[in-house]
C-alpha cells in the first residue's frame, strides 16, 4: 500500500475499468503460479497458457511469454473496453461500495506511464513487457495459523485440516492437502533466474506469505539485488505479521532505496492473538513501537497496519483505532480489507441486531478521525466502504452463521481458545443453535 491522493489518474480518458497492473506488474503466488495480481486471487485470476493450463514458474517461461500470453492480451483488451474481468471483482465491489480500490491506487501511482502504455498496446493486446513491480509470495512457510487462512498459505494448517469436520472446510484444499507439504518450486534455480530477468526494470518489490520475514528465500533474493547493483533503485514492501524482527533483516534493509511495511494486525491485544494464533501481542506491540521510533535507521518510509475485517473483529475495530492513535510514525488509521472467503468468516453473515451495533461503532470512529491530521483519505474511504458493506447479506446467511459457530468451536477446542472470551456479543446467538 502506498501514500496516495487519488488525483492524477484520468478516469474519463481511460474508462471505468482500466488498471495499469497488467502492463507493468508480475505476481507469483504461493504455489509458484503466475497470476494477474494478489487482489484478484480469490476470483480465479490464474494466467493460463494456450492449452488453458495455469502458468507456473517451473514452466520456465520468459517474461514475454507470460505477459503476452493470449490470456493476458485478452485481459488488457477487456480493461481498455471498460469491462471488469471476473478476476477484478474485488476492485469493482470495493468501488461500488464507495471504497478506494487497489486499481485506483495503482493507477494513481503510475499515472505518468499510462498514456505511453496504452498508446504502445497493439490492437491484439500485445505489449513490450517492462516489469516495474514484482510481487512474490514465497510459499506456505509461516509461523502462524490464522483462522481465516488455509494450507496454501501456511503449513501449520495441514494437521487441522485432517481433524476438523469436512463440512466446514473448502473442498479444494481437502482434495490437494498433500500438495501443501512442500514447496519444490522455491528450491528451483528457475525462480531466481526469473527474478534476475526482471531486476533491471524493477523499482518495486513486494513480498507476502506465508510470512516473508520468516522465509530464508526472501533474504536470498535481497542479496541478489545487492550483488547485481540494483538495491538502490528498489523499494521493498512486505505483508508481515511482525512477530519476527532480527538484526540481519534490519541491516540489509539499509542498502535499499526504501522499505514499506503492511503489518497484518486484525485486532487489539488478545483478539489479534485469537484470530492469528499463536501470535503473541506483547512481541508485536514491542516490534511496532520499536520501528515507530527507529524507522529512519532502516530506510522505512511507511508503516501501515493492514486489517482483514471479518466476523471476529467487525465489532471491535474501535479498539484498534484507539491503539494506533498513540503512534507517531505508524499510520494512525489501519487499511481495512473486507474478507470474502471463507464465507463463514465474512461479516456479511453478522446477525442483524449486531449489524446495528457495528454501524454505530464505525460511525463513532468516523466522527473522531475526520478532523485528525495526516490520515490518508483512501483509508477513511475504506472505513466507509466497510460500513456500507454491512448492508450486504449472504443469501444463506443463517446456514453460514451456524457454520461459523461450528468452525469456531472446533478450532478453539484444538487450540485451547474461547470465542466468547473475545466476542461475548455472540453468546445469545450461539445459544440459538
pLDDT at 167: 87
* pLDDT tens-digit map of 408-425: 999 999 999 999 999 999
The structural domains of the chain, with segments of one domain joined by +, span 16-131, 135-430
Characterize 357-375 residue by residue with b for buried, 16 or more Cβ atoms within 10 angstroms of its Cβ, and e for exposed.
ebeebbeebeeebeeeeee
> Which tens digit of pLDDT belongs to each residue from 272-304?
999 999 999 999 999 999 999 999 999 999 999
| Residue 375 grid cell | 490520515
Report d(CA 235, CA 204) in Å as an integer. Answer: 5
Residues 229-255 have pLDDT tens digits of: 999 999 999 999 999 999 999 999 999
8 pLDDT tier (thresholds 50, 70, 90): very low
Q: How confident is the model at residue 4 (pLDDT cuts 50, 70, 90)?
A: very low
**What local confidence, expressed as pLDDT, does residue 123 receive?**
96
**DSSP bridge partners of 48:** 54
Residue 96: pLDDT band with limits 50, 70, 90 = confident
**How does residue 6 score in pLDDT terms, banded at 50, 70 and 90?**
very low
CATH of 135-430, one of 3.30.2000, 3.20.20, 3.30.530, 3.30.70: 3.20.20
Tell me the mean pLDDT in the region 389-403: 86
pLDDT classification of 134: cutoffs 50, 70, 90: very high
What does residue 208 show for φ and ψ, rounded to 5 degrees? -120, -160
Percent of the chain whose predicted confidence (pLDDT) is above 70: 93
Q: How far apart are CA 126 and CA 259, in angstroms?
A: 33
Amino acid at each position: 500500500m502506498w501514500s496516495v491522493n487519488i488525483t492524477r489518474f484520468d478516469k474519463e480518458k481511460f474508462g471505468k475499468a482500466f488498471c495499469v497492473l497488467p502492463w507493468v506488474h508480475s505476481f507469483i503466488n504461493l504455489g509458484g503460479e503466475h497470476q494477474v495480481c494478489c487482489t484478484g486471487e480469490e476470483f480465479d485470476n490464474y494466467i493460463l497458457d494456450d492449452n488453458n493450463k495455469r502458468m507456473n514458474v517451473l514452466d520456465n517461461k520468459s517474461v514475454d511469454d507470460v505477459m503476452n500470453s493470449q490470456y493476458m492480451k485478452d485481459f488488457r483488451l477487456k480493461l481498455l473496453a471498460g469491462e471488469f474481468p471476473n478476476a477484478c471483482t474485488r476492485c469493482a465491489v470495493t468501488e461500488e461500495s464507495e471504497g478506494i480500490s487497489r486499481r485506483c491506487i495503482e493507477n494513481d501511482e503510475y499515472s505518468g506511464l499510462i498514456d505511453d502504455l496504452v498508446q504502445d498496446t497493439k490492437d491484439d493486446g500485445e505489449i513490450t513487457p517492462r516489469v516495474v513491480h514484482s510481487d512474490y509470495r514465497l510459499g506456505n512457510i509461516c509461523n502462524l495459523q490464522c483462522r481465516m487462512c488455509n494450507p496454501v498459505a501456511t503449513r501449520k494448517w495441514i494437521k487441522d485440516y485432517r481433524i476438523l469436520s469436512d463440512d466446514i472446510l473448502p473442498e479444494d484444499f481437502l482434495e490437494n492437502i498433500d500438495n501443501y507439504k512442500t514447496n519444490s518450486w522455491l528450491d528451483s534455480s528457475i525462480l531466481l533466474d526469473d527474478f534476475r530477468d526482471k531486476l533491471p526494470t524493477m523499482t518495486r518489490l513486494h513480498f507476502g506469505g506465508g510470512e516473508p520475514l520468516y522465509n530464508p528465500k526472501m533474504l536470498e533474493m535481497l542479496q541478489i539485488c545487492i550483488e547485481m547493483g540494483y538495491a538502490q533503485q528498489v523499494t521493498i514492501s512486505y505483508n508481515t505479521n511482525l512477530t519476527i524482527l532480527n538484526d540481519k533483516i534490519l541491516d540489509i534493509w539499509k542498502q535499499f532505496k526504501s522499505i514499506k511495511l503492511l503489518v497484518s494486525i486484525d485486532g487489539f491485544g488478545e483478539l489479534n492473538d485469537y484470530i492469528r494464533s499463536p501470535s503473541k501481542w506483547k512481541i508485536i506491540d514491542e516490534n511496532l513501537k520499536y520501528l515507530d521510533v527507529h524507522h529512519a535507521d532502516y530506510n522505512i518510509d511507511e508503516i501501515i497496519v493492514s486489517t482483514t475485517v471479518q466476523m471476529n473483529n467487525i465489532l471491535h475495530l474501535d479498539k484498534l483505532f484507539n491503539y494506533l492513535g498513540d503512534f507517531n510514525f505508524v499510520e494512525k488509521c489501519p487499511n481495512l480489507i473486507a474478507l470474502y472467503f471463507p464465507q463463514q468468516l465474512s461479516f456479511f453473515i453478522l446477525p442483524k441486531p449486531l449489524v446495528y451495533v457495528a454501524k454505530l461503532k464505525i460511525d463513532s470512529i468516523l466522527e473522531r478521525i475526520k478532523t485528525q491530521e495526516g490520515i490518508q483519505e483512501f483509508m477513511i474511504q475504506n472505513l466507509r466502504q466497510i460500513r456500507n458493506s454491512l448492508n450486504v447479506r449472504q443469501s444463506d446467511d443463517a446456514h453460514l452463521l451456524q457454520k461459523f459457530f461450528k468452525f469456531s468451536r472446533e478450532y478453539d477446542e484444538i487450540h485451547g481458545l474461547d470465542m466468547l472470551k473475545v466476542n461475548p456479543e455472540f453468546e445469545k446467538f450461539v445459544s440459538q443453535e
